[in-house]
Amino acid sequence: MASSKLTQAEVDFYHENGYLLHNKQLFSPEKLSELKEIFEEQWRKVGKKLNSELDTPHFRDERLLTFLLADEVLDLVEPLIGPHIGLWSSHFICKEPLVGKATPWHEDSAYWNGRLTRFDKIVTIWLAIDHSWKENGCMRVIPGTHRNGFSEYERVDTADHIFESQIKRVDDAEAVYFELQPGECSLHDSRIIHGAAPNKSEYRRCGYTMRYFATDALVTAERNKNHKVWLARGRDLAGSAFVNA
């Protein structure tokens, strides 16, 4: 399957708004089916419950590197953050039917504060494994908030939310909902405010996040013990400790 290229208009839209919907198939049907089966294997191992075991699954199953380091993915990332690309992390996110908890409003970069030296060129690809739409709690973002710096947070009840904190005073009137068919993806800046409603539908909502950073950011060794990053494309510019540099 040929890699899909972003147009200059799409790149400009991403930088202006902090996100981009890519309503095209990222992988071939066969490759998407293989990825879905890897997820199903991992989900069965944890008793089909969302927990931290589904974070950085490529640390345990290197078959996922076939997807994370694929040209189909990196060709979307490169126009946004440049040719020198590190693989930061990946995460299977699954919201079970009827009981999937809300994802509080947050910025990804707030959870990584101190772990890298800069956050202006980190992009997440959110690949839909299942159909993702409003009914089952698709992701939503507040456009343009990637330029606002770190927000102020408050505690929330983890009985209803997957995190224990959320951004205070978010005006969701301008929220954009990322409705995706299986195999389609979205891209968002690590600094943008985003979240998701709970899944109260009868349909599971599963996605695979693939996160990348420009290698002129230094991965701080003392704040990233047991965390592994791969050099996905280009060169290591800041001197980070890559697995395969």
Digit-coded pLDDT (tens) for 58-68? 999 999 999 99
| Other Cβ atoms within 10 Å of 102 Cβ, number | 19
CATH class of 8-233: mainly beta
- Strand ranges, E, within 197-241: 205-214, 230-233
pLDDT tier at 5, thresholds 50, 70, 90? confident
Q: What percent of the chain lies above the pLDDT cut of 90?
A: 80
CB 205 within 8 A of CB 127: no
CA terminus-to-terminus distance, the chain: 27
pLDDT of residue 52: 47
Domain ranges of the chain: 8-233
pTM as predicted:
0.94
Closest-CA residue to 137 (of 83, 101, 90, 174): 101
pLDDT digits 0-9 by tens, 122-140: 999 999 999 999 999 999 9
The answer on pLDDT for 244 being more than 90 is no
pLDDT tier at 43, thresholds 50, 70, 90? confident
Identify which has the larger pLDDT, 20 or 149: 20
pLDDT of residue 3: 63
Identify which has the larger pLDDT, 230 or 150: 230
State the number of CA atoms in the 13 A half-sphere of 182 facing the CB: 15
The DSSP result for 30-74, as a single string, is HHHHHHHHHHHHHHHHTTS--SGGGBSGGGT-GGGHHHHT-HHHH
The answer on pLDDT for 49 being more than 70 is no
CA–CA separation, 35 and 27 (whole Å): 10
Enter the tokens of residue 188. 């968002």
**Per-range mean pLDDT, top range of 36-45, 73-82, 149-158:** 73-82
